């Protein structure tokens, strides 16, 4: 049997989880308290207030969800969509494709538009789809598509979506606090993220926020919300002043998220975005010296997820294994269209610094010397 205490530490530079700061780990080791304890109510209130700051929103319905990033996706879709509702999804990778899968299981009528992997959508592309196939209740996009490293501009598409009378859903799992994601300014109606990416909290929690228009859509459904566990109208009675028990949240993960959010806000969002950008620039320069380039379209490269061509002259999977076993560095494999071709290098949260970049670059000079 493996001894947990003997696990080798890793340098996490994959698509998540990212390295967790000792402050966050210590917060998580705090003795467990009850989920109806007045102290925990304060923890929840703080988390809601800090999430509003990080999402840059004044939405009242802003909360953490017990479950990973995918729980955030399911929660948003199952609350907003009813069987038969029209949903337009913009697919440019694995996670946007999951939006379609989840919505289909809800029974929504899903229309998909696609661009090749590594690219993003223009407002004109969305406009055409809205005109040809609309009206849609909801339009879904992924901000940073973790399978391709593409950063999708949101603001101009949001204008087109709202002009057509639709609501906008955005996945910010791989972007929130690593690159700007401004929910109110960009008029995002439903937005979700995950704890273990740019916020560097352990995996296990999602975060979500719903605009007043999204809440209106939820409260004016014809059918009950298709999930009891993710029913936002029940959850808001626990997060709000009623404090009605819904489920027992993983209390210690909430402690960790509280500390991670505190750290993000102590740093300040603009400084945090700049730190991610600087780490990305350093990595990009260093990789170029080794002859390693990006698979993502040059106009839309996300700083948080660097999807690069696997180094030439070495076996892609063996190279990743060597990085992990000899250098303790984890990078991600390519998915879908990029399987066997890509390495996905995350620079997220605690991992977005020169120390991580240097560790990877120096390991690469050993395992994949420029040849």
If binding is defined by CB under 6 A, does position 69 make contact with ligand PLP?
yes
- Rounded CA gap, 123 and 158, in Å? 8
Least distance to ligand PLP from the beta carbon of 138, Å? 17
Least distance to ligand PLP from the beta carbon of 355, Å? 23
Least distance to ligand PLP from the beta carbon of 344, Å? 10
The counts of H helices and E strands in the chain are 12, 14
Q: Which stretch binds ligand PLP (CB under 6 A): 68-76, 254-262, 265-273, 275-283?
A: 68-76
- Rounded CA gap, 272 and 269, in Å? 5
Least distance to ligand PLP from the beta carbon of 369, Å? 31
**Candidate residues 11, 57, 66, 68; the one interacting with ligand PLP per rule CB under 6 A:** 68
**Candidate residues 27, 88, 142, 253; the one interacting with ligand PLP per rule CB under 6 A:** 142
The pair of structure tokens assigned to 195 is: 């704890």
If binding is defined by CB under 6 A, does position 304 make contact with ligand PLP?
no
If binding is defined by CB under 6 A, does position 14 make contact with ligand PLP?
no
**Candidate residues 123, 134, 203, 286; the one interacting with ligand PLP per rule CB under 6 A:** 203
Residue number, 142 or 181, with CB nearest to ligand PLP: 142
If binding is defined by CB under 6 A, does position 146 make contact with ligand PLP?
yes
DSSP 3-state of 237: helix
- Rounded CA gap, 200 and 275, in Å? 14
**Cα torsion through 271, 168, 140, 270, rounded to 10:** 0
What letter would DSSP give residue 241? T
For residue 195, give every residue at least 6 positions away whose Cβ sits within 8 Å of its Cβ, in sequence order, or none. 64, 68, 201, 202, 203, 204, 205, 206, 207, 253, 256, 257, 260
The residue assigned the tokens 């800090």 is: 50
If binding is defined by CB under 6 A, does position 330 make contact with ligand PLP?
no
Residue number, 97 or 368, with CB nearest to ligand PLP: 97
Least distance to ligand PLP from the beta carbon of 67, Å? 8
Closest listed residue to residue 230, CA positions, set 368, 63, 60, 96: 63
Residue number, 15 or 303, with CB nearest to ligand PLP: 15
**Candidate residues 14, 140, 149, 194; the one interacting with ligand PLP per rule CB under 6 A:** 194
- Rounded CA gap, 38 and 32, in Å? 13
Least distance to ligand PLP from the beta carbon of 278, Å? 21
If binding is defined by CB under 6 A, does position 136 make contact with ligand PLP?
no
Binding residue count for ligand PLP, defined by CB under 6 A: 13
Residue number, 81 or 206, with CB nearest to ligand PLP: 206
Q: Where are the alpha helices (DSSP H) in the chain?
A: 22-28, 38-55, 69-80, 94-106, 123-133, 155-163, 212-219, 232-239, 251-267, 269-289, 316-327, 354-367
List of residues contacting ligand PLP (CB under 6 A): 15-16, 68-70, 95, 142, 146, 171, 173-174, 194, 203
């Amino acid at each position: 049997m493996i001894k947990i205490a003997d696990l080798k530490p890793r340098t996490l530079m994959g698509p998540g989880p990212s390295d967790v700061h000792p402050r966050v780990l210590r917060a998580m080791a705090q003795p467990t308290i009850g989920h109806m304890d007045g102290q925990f109510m304060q923890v929840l209130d703080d988390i809601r207030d800090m999430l509003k700051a990080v999402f840059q929103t004044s939405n009242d319905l802003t909360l953490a969800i017990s479950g990973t990033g995918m729980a955030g996706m399911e929660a948003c879709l199952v609350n907003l969509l009813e069987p038969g509702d029209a949903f337009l999804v913009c697919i440019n990778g694995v996670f946007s494709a999951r939006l379609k899968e989840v919505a289909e299981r809800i029974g929504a009528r899903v229309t998909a538009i696609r661009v090749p992997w590594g690219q993003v959508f223009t407002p004109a592309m969305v406009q055409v789809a809205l005109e040809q196939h609309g009206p849609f209740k909801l339009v879904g996009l992924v901000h940073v598509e973790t399978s391709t490293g593409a950063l999708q501009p949101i603001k101009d598409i949001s204008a087109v979506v709202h002009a057509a009378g639709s609501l906008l859903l955005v996945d910010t799992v791989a972007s929130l606090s690593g690159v700007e994601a401004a929910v109110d300014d960009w008029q995002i109606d439903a937005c979700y993220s995950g704890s273990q990416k740019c916020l560097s909290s352990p995996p296990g929690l999602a975060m979500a926020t719903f605009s007043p228009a999204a809440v209106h859509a939820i409260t004016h459904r014809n059918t009950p919300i298709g999930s009891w566990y993710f029913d936002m109208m029940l959850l808001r009675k626990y997060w709000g002043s009623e404090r009605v028990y819904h489920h027992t949240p993983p209390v210690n993960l909430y402690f960790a998220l509280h500390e991670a959010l505190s750290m993000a806000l102590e740093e300040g969002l603009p400084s945090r975005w700049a730190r991610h950008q600087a780490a990305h620039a350093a990595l990009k320069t260093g990789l170029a010296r080794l002859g390693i380039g990006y698979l993502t379209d040059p106009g839309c490269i996300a700083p948080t997820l660097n999807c690069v061509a696997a180094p030439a002259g070495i076996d892609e999977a063996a190279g990743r294994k060597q990085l992990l076993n000899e250098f303790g560095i984890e990078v991600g494999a390519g998915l879908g269209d990029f399987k066997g071709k890509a390495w996905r290098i995350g620079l997220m949260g605690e991992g977005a610094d020169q120390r991580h970049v240097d560790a990877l670059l120096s390991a690469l000079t050993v395992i994949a010397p420029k040849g």
